[in-house]
Each structure stands twice: as structure tokens, then as C-alpha cells.
């Protein structure tokens, strides 16, 4: 209908083409030869079945492009509709088509006394033949035809009803299903027409009659309506409109622009009338004051001129004296400096010449060394590549199929193990919570047991030392006795009876030696046990200390959260009180109307006379000046006013103006709503990180100031000076502002905020979080497509050789540099920059590690070297970016760094299980390490992975976790959507209130007389 009207008015319009469904409609309902016609014909035959009906369809439409037969069905057929293919089964087509309503039944129900039942069954039209067969399909066609005739006679105002989901539950949208319904219903084409069309249209007479005030000369009789309309549109500088035969066609929103221009012209006219009246009154008063001031000025000017002449004479004399003295002093210094500079220059020139000569020699030697080194590196690399190529081509095809089969088998086995690992981790969390409570009890028991054990061990040690000493003395005496006996035996050989005694002493000596050895062994065991007990005690003391530190941290966190909760409850209490006061049933209708007008800056009432009183004129002038000031502020800050002293100018200017106008202390105002609209319009540019960063800097700075300044009513508020009670009405605020009290704009003041200010603070917090999330998600979206490429080294398509390309990693670094540059240019607080980069690096870490775990071709030695080089580039970037922006972002890559470090390590078969878990990969879980070890293959040196014993031990640990039910299918995968929370206290503590001093406001506002307070 709209396109027909555009054609009728002969405006410049190109038709939107639609898909023609006439061929499909002919296939279904054409007579004769359509599907419905064949169905009716088949129903008239007695012996017809659904198979014969399907066979007729196959023979009739076998050449039709919109009809096809399914491969494995004898009773089905497929129709290629506009929105997709639909397959039908003819099993019950004949029965359903014959099951029609009997005319006698319809007549009976139509004769019902119930109006609702009789309306459902209207009287049937009399047929020419009483026995004519009418099927369900024919009735359906007739009803559709009647519906089309009814729709054609109406104007198309309609709503498309769609089925959002198949489970019939609210707030669930199945995207593909909804899009399919919109496509089938023609809604997309209707939207295209609405977007490209002209929704606003007016006749020439209506248009000129309403907007003729914009160009008064077109209202004369010398211009016709068409020419007048064109002149008005040119005056308004509108683009995209169309002039028809009888109407003016406008784009969406252009009528609102014309109304705004019309309102502006009317307002300027009213202001001009007021200015003339005020000029007359001011001129009359000025003439009276001028006559009085002329005589006073003449006397004052004479006295001032004489004093000024005397001061000028004294200034000239003093200048001459100063000139002579300064000339003498300057010449003396010049002579000294000239002689000193000559000596210094000669020495520096000689030193510079020697340095240049040494640099030339070093450069020449470096060039020779580099040429030889590069030649050697290129040659050695070429030899390695040739050798690697031959080895890879020989072994690759043989190993691929076998390894792929083994990986599939192991992946099937790991499913149960991963489920068990997840359950095990959940139990470990509960166990650690219980252990933290248990360690406090154990610590006291250990202290007591330690003291008792130490005493016991010391007593045992003393007893053993005494026994050892006695044994040594006894052994010494036995040695002496044996020595004397042997001497006597040598001197008196005839005494043979002492041989038995010598043997007995020797046996006793051996027995004592064994006893000494046993005592020494017991002593060593006691000392070893004492050392082990001491180590265990130290470990338990360390654990208890760590537990106490964690408890203290939790207590501090709980205390800060309690303070935050108290502040939030106070704010909510104020908000609830204000919302209860604002309810319509708590105030009369007339008072509510007057107060709402007062809050919006309007002082008109129903009882106001056309003439008014002088007081009312004064009030209106104050309100007008205030509205003009607010408009000037909004028009200024909506543009990019830049930064001053590293702080956003717009945020500081808004705060100073709101503080000066006492907006924070008012009960009703619309200034906050207009500011929220400015920040809301910035969030519509979701893809422009520069604009998002600019508004994030302004909104966060304003939020920091409000957090330090606003306090809920009733809380302790410290102010630089004691003020009288705040007047919440607008006239009271303006009167207070005109008093002699001035506001110190150099420091952030704390004020008792009312309901609008607290609500504005909450809305501003939501905008800061939204802008922060948009910038983070935009960068993730930019680098996500590159991360899937950097996990695997680029290869030559012919030989499978690794190249030196690092463009993908350089792309990631470029995105990071671009983001850092945008954040620095827009002076975004460093706490936001650290959070953003930390989340980006966490996203990179999760993406790279998950790709490494699920893609076997990435677990190779050469690929590990390639990824390690890229990680080195990221580490270099973190170093260059400085900790104030990068923060601890590099620590987020610890998982992928340890995994890549394990891939590139040599002689993996010599590494033990404890070394891998404790030293090489302490952050990675056993499931992740086991996954990497089973998928690892060396494509460069053809070395082996870890030993079978290590793999068996890992598998045992994984199976134990699986048996306990602590693992799942994705336990070894990292979460890619980790979001770091933003704390309002953390943001507020990141900047000091003194940093906002000395910020220069925009020059546009400084030139305005209403903003002279910004100069203070």
C-alpha cells in the first residue's frame, strides 16, 4: 500500500522486490491439476488409497521444480516452499478430506437459542445441486479466498504473532525458529519498506500553515504551496525528504526537528519582546544614575590622575637605576661564561671525534661478524629443515592412522575419568574447608604433644649416652685385660690353662661391640625421629600461620563488605522514603501538579493571571536563566571537550556546576535525567572503542567524585564550612546562591544527597559497568579469530616446513597496543586498564590451553617453540606497557606457559612424576598433564614422550579421581568467560580528590557570564 502511494505521488522510489510464490500456489490449489484438486478427485473414487494418491502426485508433478519425492518413502512428498522444504505424508489425507460437516447439523446448531453457538455456525449457502461433494480442502480454499477479500478491503495495520519457543514457557526465544517465522510471514520485507520509506506525510496546506513561521515571507500570496514547502524545507536544512503531487514526505524524526525549530522561533520572539520592555525600564533608570555619577567621576578622575603621574615619575627613575646595575652585572657574567665555554667546547669536540672513530671500527667489525653468523645460521637451518622434511615424510603417513585410533580409544576411556576428577575436586573443596577448622584444634594439641615428646626424647637420649659411655669404659677395660692376658701368655708359654679364659673374654668383647652398635643405631633412630617430628611441627605451624592470615583477610573483607552494606542500606532507606512520599495517594492532586511543575522549572499555576505580579516575573526570569545555564552545560559536555591535567574536563565541569547549583540537595529535578540521556547515547556506539573509552573516563571520574562527595541523609558529613539549613525549593536555592557565601571549587565537598542524586549515582554506576564490559567484549571479539590461528605454527603446503611468520602474534600485539593507546589518550583510570588487560590475557590463556588440549596436532615440539616465541612477545609487551596498565596480566598466562614449557623440554623420558607435578607444571591438573603427555609427538627431533611408569602413575591418579566421582567430561578445560568484578570502593580509592584540582573548564563556558564561578 505504501509503495502504491509513493507511485501515485510520483516521488523518487525504487520498488523492493519479493519472492513470488505463485508457482507454489499453483502447485497446491490450481484447478485442474493442483494437489488439492487431485485429492478431491481421489476422494470421489471408492477404491482409492493413500498410496494411489501419492502415485498420482509422483506422475503428475515429477517435472515440477517445487515438488520432489523422498528417497525412502512411498507415501510421502516434499514441497519446496519459499522458506524451506516441507515433507508431507499422505497416510490420512483421504480420511481427513472426506470428514466434512453435515449441513443438517449446521442448520440445527444455527437454530440454537444461544447467540454464541449460533454465531459459530452461520447459515450455509444453498448449492445448485443438493448432492454436490464438498471436501475439507475445498472449504478451506473458499475460507482463505474470503479472508483475502476482507484483508484487501482494509488498511494494513497489523501485528505479527509468532511462536517464540516449542516448550511453551515465557522469556525463552529460539532464534532460528523465530527468524524462520519472520521470514515466512514477510515481516523482514515489511521492515525494509518501513526503514527505507517515509512514515511522515503532510499535505502542502497543512505543512505551510504549521511551519510558515520559520520563513515569514512564504506566507505571502506571491508563492504557491509547493514552492513555499520547498523553501521551508531548505530553510530547515533537511535531507532525504520527497515532494509529491499533493503531499510532503519526510523521513523518521524530521517532523520532530521542524517542531523544535518552530518552538525555537516562538521562544526567540517572546524573548525579543521581553528584552525591549526591560531595555526601556533599564534606560530610564540609567539616565537618572548617569546624572548623579558624572560629577562624582570628575572629582575622582582628577585625584587619580595626579597620583598616577607622581607614581610614573618614580617608576622611570627606578628603571634607569636598575638598568645600569643589571648591565654591569650581566657583562661581568658574560665574560666569565665565554672563557669557560671555549675550554669546554674544545674538550667535547675532541672527545666526540674519538667516540666517532671507535664507533666506526665497532660497526665495521660487527658487520663482518654478523655476515659470518647469518651465513652459518642459514646453512645450519637449511640442513635441519632438509633432514626434518625427509624424516617427517617417511614417518608421518605411517603414524597418523595408528595414533588417531589410539587417541580415539583413550578419549573414550577418559570420559569416566574426567567425571570422577570433577567429583574429587568438589570433595577436596569441602575437605579443605573442614581442614581449616581442624588445623586450629590440631595446633594446640601439637604444641602440647611436642613439648612432651621433646622431654621424652631428651631423657632417652641422655640414657643412651650414659649407656654408651659405660659400655665404652667396660670395653676399654676388657681390651686392657685381654692385652695383659696375651702378654702373660707369651711370657709364660707353659701356662695353657688360661686359653679358655681368653676365649671367654673375646666372646664377651664381641657381645659388647654388638651392644654398642645397637645403642648407636637406636641413638641415630631417635635423632632421626626427633628431626622428623621437628619438621612436621614446623610445617603444621606454617599451615596454622597461613590459615590465620587467611582468616584475617576474610575478616577484613567481611568488615569492608559490612561497611558497604551499611552505606547501601542507608541509601536504600532514603530511596524508599522518597518513593513513598512520591506516591499519588499521599498528596492532593492539585499540590502534586504544582510541585511537579516547580521541579521541572515551571512556576505557572491554574490561578495565574495574564498580567502577574512583579514577584512572579522575577521568579520566571530566575527559572529562565537557570534553564539557559543547564542547556549551555548540556550542549557543551555532549561534545568531546578533551582533557586537562590528565583528567576529563566534562566530568569535573558537570560536578562543579551541580555543586554550585545545589542540585544534589534538591528533592526534584530533571537535570540528572538529561545527563543520563547523554551517557545513554554513548552506549549506542558499541563498536567504537575510542568513544566508549572517552565516556568511560568521564563517567568513572564523575562516579569517583560522587562516591567521595555524596552521603545519605542522616550520615556523618564533614564540610569545609558550616552552612545554614539547605533549602530544597528552587527559589530558595537561587536566593542562597546569590548570598555572600562562596563555594570552594578546588576541593571535593561532602553533601547530604537527596533521592534524585542517589538515583543518579546508581544509574551512573550501571553505565560505568556497561561501558567497561563493551570495551572488554570488543577486544575479545577482535582477537578471538586470531587466537585459533596462533595455537598452531604456520606450515608450507608442499613440504610441511615451519616458516618464520609471526603475523598472527603481531596482530594480537597490535590490538593490545591500539587498546592501550586509546585508554591512554582518553585518560581512563588505570584500575580499569588493569582489569581489562587481565581479563583479555585470561581469555587468551583459556583459549590457547583448551585448543592445545583438544587438538592433537598442536601438541608437538615445533608447535611449542612457535607458541613460546609468541608468549615471549606478549611478555615483552607487558614489560613495555608498564605495571600501572598491564598489572598482573602476565600471571594469567601461567597455564599455557607451563604447558608450552613442558612441550619444548628435552629428554622427557627421564623426568619423574613428582618433578612434573611439583616443578614443571604445578598449576596444571593431573588430567591436563596426562592429556598433553598422551597427545605429544616430536616432529623435529623424533624423541619420546614421558616414560610408561609416569603415564601409568598419572592414569592411576586420574582413575582414582574418576572412581570418587570428582571429574567430568570437561574438567581439564578452562573457563573462557571469567569476569572480574568491579568494586566501587576499589574504583574510588584508585584516585585522590586532590588530583581533580587545577582542571581548566571549557572556554565556551568561561565566555558565558552565567559560568563565571568556574574561574574560582
Classify strands 247-250 and 200-203 as parallel, antiparallel or unpaired: antiparallel
CB hemisphere CA count around 243 (13 angstroms) = 14
Give pLDDT, residue 351. Answer: 92
Give the residue among 630, 568, 609 at the shortest CA–CA distance from 1010: 630
Does residue 929 register a pLDDT over 70? yes
Q: If you count them, how many residues does the chain have?
A: 1016
- Cβ neighbours of residue 192 under 8 Å, at least 6 residues apart? 16
Does residue 969 register a pLDDT over 50? no
Neighbours of 697 (CB within 10 A): 23
Residue 907 binned pLDDT confidence (cut-offs 50, 70, 90): confident
Give pLDDT, residue 412. Answer: 61
Burial class of residue 210 (count of CB atoms within 10 Å of its CB; 0-12, 13-18, 19+): middle
Q: Residues of the chain with pLDDT > 90: what percent?
A: 10
The 3-class secondary structure across 161-211, one letter per residue, is: CCCCCCCCCCCCCCHHHHHHHHHHCCHHHHHHHHHHCCCEEEEHHHHHHHH
Classify strands 242-243 and 247-250 as parallel, antiparallel or unpaired: antiparallel
The three-class DSSP label of residue 782 is helix
How does pLDDT run across 748-780, given as a tens digit for each residue? Answer: 677 777 888 888 888 888 888 888 888 888 888
Query: Under a CB-based contact definition with an 8 Å cutoff, are residues 907 and 932 in contact?
Result: no
Does residue 139 register a pLDDT over 70? yes
How does pLDDT run across 471-507, given as a tens digit for each residue? Answer: 777 777 777 776 676 565 544 444 444 556 666 767 7
- Cβ neighbours of residue 696 under 8 Å, at least 6 residues apart? 768, 771, 772, 775, 826, 828, 832
The domains located in the chain, with CATH, are 198-250 (3.30.70.1590), 282-375 (no CATH), 594-603+617-771 (no CATH), 791-986 (1.10.357)
φ, ψ for residue 643, nearest 5 deg? -135, 155
How does pLDDT run across 775-797, given as a tens digit for each residue? Answer: 888 888 888 888 878 777 665 43
Does residue 80 register a pLDDT over 70? yes
Give pLDDT, residue 318. Answer: 92
Give pLDDT, residue 330. Answer: 93
The segment with the largest mean pLDDT, out of 54-58, 645-649, 902-906, is 54-58
User: Model's pTM, two decimal places?
Assistant: 0.43
User: Among 20-34, 64-78, 384-398, 563-577, which stretch is predicted with the lowest mean pLDDT?
Assistant: 563-577
User: Among 195-209, 394-408, 646-660, 708-722, which stretch is predicted with the lowest mean pLDDT?
Assistant: 708-722
What CA–CA distance (Å, rounded) separates 285 from 278? 11
Give the residue among 403, 425, 754 at the shortest CA–CA distance from 574: 754
Greater model confidence, 609 or 453: 453
Greater model confidence, 445 or 629: 629
Report the phi/psi class of residue 791: left, alpha or beta, with left for phi > 0 and alpha for psi in -120 to 50: alpha
The predicted model gives 951-973 an average pLDDT of 67
Q: What DSSP character marks residue 585?
A: G
Residue 609 binned pLDDT confidence (cut-offs 50, 70, 90): very low
What CA–CA distance (Å, rounded) separates 921 from 928? 10
Give pLDDT, residue 971. Answer: 60
Arithmetic mean of pLDDT over the chain: 76
User: Among 554-558, 633-637, 678-682, which stretch is predicted with the lowest mean pLDDT?
Assistant: 554-558
Does residue 132 register a pLDDT over 60? no
Give pLDDT, residue 978. Answer: 66
Rg of the Cα atoms in the chain: 47
User: CA-based angle 913:914:917, to the nearest 5?
Assistant: 85
Cis peptide before 806 (omega within 30 of 0): no
- Cβ neighbours of residue 355 under 8 Å, at least 6 residues apart? none
Does residue 457 register a pLDDT over 70? yes
How does pLDDT run across 828-868, given as a tens digit for each residue? Answer: 888 888 888 888 888 888 888 888 888 878 888 888 888 88
Give pLDDT, residue 611. Answer: 40
The three-class DSSP label of residue 839 is helix
H-helix or E-strand containing 565?
A: helix 499-581
What CA–CA distance (Å, rounded) separates 97 from 38? 12
Give pLDDT, residue 352. Answer: 92
- Cβ neighbours of residue 757 under 8 Å, at least 6 residues apart? 663, 664, 665, 672, 706, 710
Give pLDDT, residue 496. Answer: 44
H-helix or E-strand containing 534?
A: helix 499-581
Greater model confidence, 559 or 196: 196
Please give the biggest Cα pair distance in the chain: 171
Classify strands 242-243 and 85-89 as parallel, antiparallel or unpaired: unpaired
Residue 353 binned pLDDT confidence (cut-offs 50, 70, 90): very high
Does residue 947 register a pLDDT over 60? yes
Give pLDDT, residue 324. Answer: 93
What CA–CA distance (Å, rounded) separates 229 from 214? 11
Instruction: Quickly count helices (H) and strands (E) in the chain.
Output: 31, 10
The predicted model gives 326-332 an average pLDDT of 93
Give pLDDT, residue 725. Answer: 41
H-helix or E-strand containing 78?
A: strand 76-80
User: Among 72-86, 437-451, 724-738, 772-786, which stretch is predicted with the lowest mean pLDDT?
Assistant: 724-738
The predicted model gives 640-646 an average pLDDT of 78
Write the DSSP assignment of 248-296 as a string of letters: EEE-TTHHHHHHHHHHHHHHHHHHHHHHHHHHHHHHHHHHHHHHHHHHH
Query: Under a CB-based contact definition with an 8 Å cutoff, are residues 246 and 204 in contact?
Result: yes
Give pLDDT, residue 589. Answer: 32
The C-alpha cell 520527497 sits at 242
The three-class DSSP label of residue 65 is coil
How does pLDDT run across 239-281, given as a tens digit for each residue? Answer: 888 888 888 888 878 888 889 998 998 899 899 999 999 999 9
Does residue 584 register a pLDDT over 70? no
Query: Under a CB-based contact definition with an 8 Å cutoff, are residues 719 and 643 in contact?
Result: no
Greater model confidence, 970 or 440: 440
Burial class of residue 847 (count of CB atoms within 10 Å of its CB; 0-12, 13-18, 19+): buried
Does residue 530 register a pLDDT over 60? yes
The segment with the largest mean pLDDT, out of 346-360, 736-750, 953-967, is 346-360
The predicted model gives 8-21 an average pLDDT of 72
Amino acid at each position: 500500500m505504501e509503495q502504491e502511494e509513493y507511485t501515485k505521488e510520483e516521488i523518487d522510489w525504487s520498488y523492493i522486490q519479493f519472492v513470488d510464490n505463485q508457482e507454489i500456489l499453483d502447485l497446491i490449489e490450481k484447478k485442474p491439476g493442483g494437489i488439492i484438486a487431485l485429492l478431491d478427485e481421489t476422494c470421489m473414487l471408492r477404491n482409492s488409497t493413500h498410496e494411489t494418491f501419492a502415485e498420482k502426485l509422483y506422475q503428475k508433478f515429477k517435472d515440477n521444480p517445487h515438488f520432489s519425492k523422498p528417497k525412502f518413502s512411498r507415501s510421502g512428498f516434499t514441497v519446496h516452499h519459499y522458506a524451506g522444504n516441507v515433507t508431507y505424508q499422505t497416510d490420512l489425507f483421504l480420511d481427513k478430506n472426506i470428514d466434512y460437516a453435515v449441513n443438517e447439523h449446521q442448520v440445527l446448531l444455527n437454530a440454537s437459542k444461544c447467540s454464541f453457538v449460533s454465531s459459530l455456525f452461520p447459515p450455509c449457502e444453498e448449492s445448485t445441486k443438493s448432492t454436490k461433494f464438498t471436501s475439507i480442502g475445498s472449504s478451506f480454499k473458499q475460507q482463505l479466498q474470503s479472508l483475502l477479500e476482507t484483508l484487501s478491503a482494509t488498511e494494513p495495520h497489523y501485528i505479527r504473532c509468532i511462536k517464540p519457543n516449542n516448550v511453551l514457557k515465557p522469556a525463552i526465544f529460539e532464534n532460528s525458529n523465530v527468524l524462520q517465522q519472520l521470514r515466512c510471514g514477510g515481516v523482514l520485507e515489511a521492515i525494509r519498506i518501513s526503514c527505507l520509506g517515509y512514515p511522515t506525510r503532510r499535505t502542502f496546506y497543512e505543512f505551510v500553515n504549521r511551519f510558515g513561521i520559520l520563513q515569514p515571507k512564504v506566507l505571502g500570496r506571491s508563492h504557491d504551496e509547493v514552492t513555499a514547502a520547498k523553501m521551508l524545507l531548505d530553510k530547515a536544512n533537511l535531507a532525504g525528504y520527497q515532494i509529491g503531487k499533493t503531499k510532503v514526505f519526510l523521513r523518521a524524526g524530521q517532523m520532530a526537528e521542524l517542531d523544535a525549530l518552530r518552538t525555537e522561533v516562538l521562544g526567540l520572539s517572546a524573548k525579543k519582546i521581553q528584552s525591549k520592555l526591560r531595555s526601556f525600564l533599564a534606560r530610564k533608570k540609567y539616565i537618572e544614575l548617569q546624572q548623579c555619577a558624572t560629577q562624582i567621576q570628575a572629582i575622582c578622575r582628577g585625584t587619580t590622575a595626579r597620583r598616577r603621574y607622581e607614581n610614573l615619575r618614580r617608576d622611570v627613575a627606578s628603571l634607569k637605576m636598575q638598568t645600569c646595575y643589571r648591565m654591569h652585572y650581566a657583562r661581568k657574567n658574560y665574560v666569565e661564561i665565554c672563557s669557560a665555554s671555549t675550554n669546554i667546547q674544545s674538550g667535547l669536540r675532541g672527545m666526540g671525534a674519538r667516540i666517532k672513530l671507535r664507533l666506526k671500527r665497532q660497526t665495521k667489525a660487527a658487520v663482518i661478524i654478523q655476515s659470518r653468523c647469518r651465513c652459518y645460521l642459514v646453512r645450519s637451518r637449511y640442513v635441519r629443515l632438509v633432514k626434518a622434511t625427509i624424516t617427517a615424510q617417511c614417518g608421518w603417513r605411517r603414524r597418523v592412522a595408528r595414533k588417531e585410533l589410539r587417541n580415539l580409544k583413550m578419549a573414550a576411556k577418559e570420559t569416566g575419568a574426567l567425571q570422577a576428577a570433577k567429583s574429587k575436586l568438589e570433595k577436596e573443596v569441602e575437605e579443605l574447608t573442614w581442614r581449616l577448622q581442624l588445623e586450629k584444634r590440631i595446633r594446640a594439641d601439637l604444641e602440647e604433644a611436642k613439648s612432651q615428646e621433646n622431654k621424652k626424647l631428651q631423657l632417652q637420649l641422655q640414657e643412651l649416652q650414659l649407656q654408651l659411655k659405660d659400655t665404652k669404659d667396660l670395653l676399654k677395660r676388657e681390651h686392657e685385660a685381654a692385652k695383659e692376658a696375651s702378654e702373660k701368655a707369651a711370657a709364660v708359654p707353659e701356662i695353657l690353662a688360661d686359653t679358655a679364659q681368653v676365649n671367654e673374654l673375646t666372646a664377651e668383647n664381641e657381645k659388647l661391640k654388638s651392644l654398642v652398635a645397637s645403642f648407636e643405631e637406636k641413638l641415630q633412630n631417635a635423632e632421626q625421629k626427633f628431626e622428623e617430628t621437628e619438621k612436621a611441627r614446623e610445617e603444621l605451624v606454617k599451615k596454622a600461620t597461613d590459615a590465620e592470615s587467611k582468616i584475617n583477610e576474610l575478616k577484613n573483607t567481611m568488615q569492608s563488605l559490612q561497611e558497604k552494606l551499611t552505606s547501601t542500606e542507608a541509601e536504600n532507606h532514603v530511596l524508599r522514603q522518597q518513593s513513598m512520599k512520591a506516591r499519588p495517594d499521599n498528596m492532593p492532586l492539585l499540590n502534586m501538579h504544582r510541585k511537579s511543575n516547580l521541579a521541572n522549572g515551571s512556576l505557572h499555576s491554574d490561578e495565574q493571571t495574564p498580567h502577574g505580579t512583579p514577584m512572579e516575573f522575577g521568579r520566571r526570569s530566575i527559572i529562565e536563566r537557570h534553564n539557559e545555564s543547564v542547556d549551555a552545560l548540556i550542549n557543551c559536555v555532549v561534545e568531546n571537550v578533551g582533557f586537562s591535567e590528565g583528567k576529563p574536563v566534562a566530568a569535573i565541569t558537570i560536578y562543579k556546576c551541580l555543586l554550585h547549583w545545589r542540585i544534589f540537595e534538591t528533592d526534584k529535578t530533571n537535570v540528572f535525567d538529561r545527563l543520563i540521556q547523554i551517557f545513554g547515547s554513548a552506549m549506542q556506539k558499541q563498536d567504537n572503542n575510542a568513544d566508549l573509552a572517552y565516556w568511560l573516563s568521564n563517567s568513572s571520574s564523575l562516579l569517583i567524585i560522587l562516591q567521595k562527595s555524596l552521603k545519605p541523609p542522616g550520615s556523618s558529613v564533614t564540610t569545609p564550612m558550616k552552612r545554614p539549613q539547605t533549602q530544597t525549593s528552587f527559589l530558595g536555592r537561587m536566593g542562597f546562591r546569590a548570598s555572600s557565601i562562596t563555594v570552594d571549587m578546588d576541593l571535593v565537598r561532602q553533601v547530604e544527597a537527596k533521592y534524585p542524586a542517589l538515583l543518579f549515582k546508581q544509574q551512573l554506576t550501571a553505565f560505568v559497568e556497561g561501558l567497561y564490559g563493551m570495551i572488554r567484549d570488543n577486544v575479545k571479539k577482535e582477537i578471538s579469530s586470531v587466537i585459533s590461528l596462533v595455537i598452531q605454527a604456520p606450515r608450507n603446503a608442499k613440504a610441511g616446513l615451519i616458516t618464520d611468520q609471526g603475523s598472527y602474534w603481531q596482530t594480537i600485539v597490535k590490538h593490545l597496543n591500539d587498546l592501550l593507546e586509546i585508554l591512554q589518550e582518553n585518560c581512563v583510570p588505570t584500575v580499569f586498564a588493569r582489569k581489562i588487560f587481565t581479563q583479555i590475557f585470561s581469555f587468551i590463556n583459556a583459549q590457547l590451553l583448551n585448543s592445545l588440549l583438544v587438538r592433537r596436532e598442536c601438541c608437538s615440539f615445533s608447535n611449542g617453540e612457535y607458541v613460546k616465541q609468541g608468549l615471549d612477545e606478549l611478555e615483552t609487551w607487558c614489560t613495555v606497557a608498564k605495571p600501572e596498565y598491564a598489572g598482573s596480566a602476565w600471571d594469567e598466562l601461567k597455564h599455557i606457559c607451563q604447558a608450552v614449557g613442558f612441550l619444548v623440554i628435552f629428554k622427557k623420558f627421564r623426568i619423574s612424576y613428582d618433578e612434573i607435578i611439583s616443578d614443571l607444571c604445578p598449576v596444571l591438573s593431573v588430567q591436563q598433564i596426562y592429556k598433553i603427555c598422551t597427545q605429544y609427538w616430536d616432529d623435529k627431533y623424533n624423541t619420546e614422550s614421558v616414560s610408561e611408569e609416569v603415564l601409568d602413575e598419572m592414569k592411576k591418579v586420574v582413575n582414582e579421581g574418576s572412581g570418587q566421582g570428582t571429574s567430568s567430561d570437561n574438567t581439564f578445560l578452562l573457563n573462557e568467560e571469567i569476569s572480574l568484578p568491579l568494586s566501587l570502593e576499589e574504583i574510588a580509592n584508585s584516585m585522590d580528590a586532590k588530583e581533580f584540582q587545577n582542571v581548566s573548564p571549557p572556554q565556551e563556558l568561561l565566555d558565558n557570564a552565567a559560568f563565571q564561578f568556574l574561574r574560582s
